[in-house]
Amino acid sequence: MPNTYTQIHIQFIFAVKYRESLIKQEWKDRLYQYITGIVQRNGHKMIIINGMADHLHILVGMRPNQSISDLLQDIKGSSSKWINEQKLTNKKFAWQEGYGAFSYSKQQIPRIISYIANQEEHHLKRSFRKEYLRFLQENSIEYDERYIFNDPE
């Protein structure tokens, strides 16, 4: 659309169903490439993707032509189907329902890129659940404790 100018940076956080550690080192780069392809096919810019065996962080430069929920539905649905078709896990792979979506200004992007790039280091100090709660609290997002990603038992 002519004369439409946007700068929309969103970090998405979502987890493997039941927070199982199913994303393996041997194929995580292939998964990241596959998800990057989904983001790009939808006309957005992948800035960085990284995560742990049980969850992902994605920072995207979004175009205003698609809703966040439609993009995440495509990412989660297509990637779980791909993982299952490739038989990358011994069981059926699925993402947990829901996600976090947090917006950032251009000035914040270098800090967020560094944070996402260093996930392994961050999770030596803080669990995923504590990390996720911190994001919600820092962004003044009201939440229902029943629907927060719980740590695996």
22 within a domain of the structure (yes/no): yes
- Please tell me the distance from the alpha carbon of residue 3 to that of residue 52, in angstroms, as a whole number: 40
Residue 78 falls inside a structural domain: yes
What's residue 5's pLDDT?
A: 87
Domain containing 42 equals 8-147
Domain count, the chain: 1
Q: Is residue 15 part of a domain?
A: yes
- Domain for residue 152, yes or no? no
Strand 55-62 and strand 8-15: the pairing is antiparallel
pLDDT at 150: 61
Is 1 among the domain residues? Answer: no
The pLDDT of residue 32: 98
Q: Does some domain include residue 115?
A: yes
| Residue 3 included in any domain | no
Residue 19 clears pLDDT 70, i.e. is over it: yes
Token pair 């649905």 is at which residue? Answer: 77
Residue 43 lies in a domain: yes
Closest CA to 109 of 40, 48, 34, 43: 48
At residue 134, the pLDDT reads 86
Residue 3 has pLDDT above 90, yes or no: no
Structure tokens at 24: 């393996």
For position 109, which CATH number holds? 3.30.70.1290
pLDDT digits (tens, 9 = 90+) for 74-95: 999 999 999 999 999 999 999 9
Q: What's the average model confidence in pLDDT over 120-141? A: 84
